[in-house]
Amino acid sequence: MNEQTLSMRLERVAAHVPVGAHFADIGSDHGYLPVALMRRGRIAKAVAGEVALTPFRSAERTVRENDLGHLISVRHASGLAAIRPEDAITAISICGMGGETIRDILDSGKTRLNGQERLILQPNGGEQPLRQWLMDNGYRILCEEVLRENRFDYEIIVAERAEPVTYCAHQLYFGPLHLKSRSPAFLGKWQRKLRHKQKTLSHLTRAQQAVTEDKVREIARQVHWITELLA
């Protein structure tokens, strides 16, 4: 993967960035996503935010080598602190981190959101707490995707601020739009998850180790929900 050839996962994220966006990629690592979008003429300007020094330098290098320093600002900052009001950001991606981490980045930086941005989120697990944050903060989920690459199931969640919306517990767990579309990739992901959770449950119930009853009950509930989904 590089700034010319993105992974399939980042290609699908890129597809949700509106043409002409003022784009912020938070946790940009090598900076491939904003640089690829700029090289393709898809976005007007960009911020690449990175909290860690080595990937920050790597993003700086990618931008420099592509001669895009006048269009892409690389900033060493945690979360949404990379964004300034004068950037007039219209789309933000936060990808390749746990859903809880993405939620915490959004929550601790929410005063920096102007409410006009499209959020393009690619959590690695923890989708439920992330959807909960979106609902609690007035975001509607516009699109959800599951894709499989290198034997991982990746989720992409696209959301925008809208009229308040209420998602039930099932919708928060599986994704409101996934439940409607039931795509083969989505069902495949949950078939694999079900096998994994059933194994965990049988280990926990057989093992003598101290696991709280709450934990076993919680996994059993999830197994029940997934079984119902796939029935």
Ligand X SMILES: C[S@@+](CC[C@H](N)C(=O)[O-])C[C@H]1O[C@@H](n2cnc3c(N)ncnc32)[C@H](O)[C@@H]1O
Please select the residue that binds ligand X; options are 52, 88, 169, 230, rule is CB under 6 A.
Answer: 52
> Could you tell me how many residues make up the chain?
231
Among 44, 48, 47, 50, smallest CA distance to 18 is for 44
Contact (Cβ atoms closer than 8 angstroms) between residue 133 and residue 100: no
Tokens of 31: 């900076």
Between the CA of residue 94 and those of 73, 105, 111, 123, 180, what are the distances in Å? 16, 9, 17, 8, 25
Assess 43 for contact with ligand X (CB under 6 A): no
According to DSSP, residue 138 is labeled T
Shortest reach from residue 92's CB to ligand X, in Å: 12
Assess 29 for contact with ligand X (CB under 6 A): yes
Stretch that binds ligand X, among 46-54, 134-142, 161-169, 189-197 (CB under 6 A): 46-54
Tokens of 114: 């102007």
Residues 119-158 close enough to bind ligand X by CB under 6 A: none
**Whose Cβ is closer to ligand X: residue 12's or residue 197's?**
12
Assess 96 for contact with ligand X (CB under 6 A): yes
Please select the residue that binds ligand X; options are 42, 57, 78, 193, rule is CB under 6 A.
Answer: 78
Stretch that binds ligand X, among 95-103, 138-146, 171-179, 212-220 (CB under 6 A): 95-103
Helix, strand, coil % over all residues of the chain, rounded to 5: 50, 25, 30
Please select the residue that binds ligand X; options are 11, 42, 44, 55, rule is CB under 6 A.
Answer: 55
Assess 172 for contact with ligand X (CB under 6 A): no
Instruction: Read off φ and ψ for residue 55, nearest 5 degrees.
Output: -65, -35
User: Which residues bind to ligand X, rule: CB under 6 A?
Assistant: 10, 26-29, 49-52, 55, 78-79, 95-97, 105
